[in-house]
Amino acid sequence: MNLNGADRSAANIAAGVADRHWHRYCARLGAKGPRWYAWAWTRIDESETTGYR
């Protein structure tokens, strides 16, 4: 992904997100227990300001 003019991986961007911005959700119980997902929003392209998020 291109972030502020630099190509970065999604993992690299996620590592820079502060802990307080992450949200954990349990989608449902699976065969091996609950399925947890972590979500955080970040803008990934400052140049696309119209119609994109």
Whether pTM exceeds 0.85:
no
pLDDT of residue 45: 60
Segment 8-48, tens digit of pLDDT? 888 888 898 899 999 999 988 889 899 999 988 866 666 66
Distance separating alpha carbons of residues 53 and 45, to the nearest angstrom: 8
Residues paired with residue 15 on neighbouring β-strands, in sequence order: none
Parse the chain into domains and list their residue ranges. Answer: 2-39
pLDDT of residue 7: 85
Q: Encoding tokens for residue 29?
A: 């119980």
pLDDT of residue 23: 93
Closest C-alpha among 10, 14, 1 to residue 47: 1
Closest C-alpha among 15, 17, 35 to residue 26: 35
